[in-house]
Amino acid sequence: MLIIFYSFLCTGKKFSDGPFDQLIIRGATLINGNGSPPLGPVDIVIEKI
């Protein structure tokens, strides 16, 4: 695990150019908290207003 983590640190690549106006999470399982079964896969879009 430590070797994998270290390899990500040493790549020197930027993973983002942010800040972005939108975050999209694809293929998530939605648990809405009202006792019903989980829904999924769903796409969740979070937008900056």
How many angstroms separate the CA atoms of 22 and 16, rounded? 13
Q: What is the mean pLDDT of residues 16-24?
A: 85
Q: Among 18, 20, 22, which Cα is nearest to 46's?
A: 22
pLDDT band for position 31 (50/70/90)?
Answer: very high
Structural domains of the chain, count: 1
Domain residues for the domain of 25 are 17-49
Residue 11 lies in a domain: no
Q: What is the mean pLDDT of residues 11-37?
A: 85
Q: Two tokens at 11?
A: 């790549």
Residue 32 lies in a domain: yes
Residue 46 lies in a domain: yes
- Which sign, positive or negative, has the C-alpha torsion 7, 11, 12, 17? negative
How many angstroms separate the CA atoms of 17 and 39, rounded? 32
Q: What is the DSSP letter of 23?
A: E
pLDDT reading at 6 higher than 60: no
Residue 6 lies in a domain: no
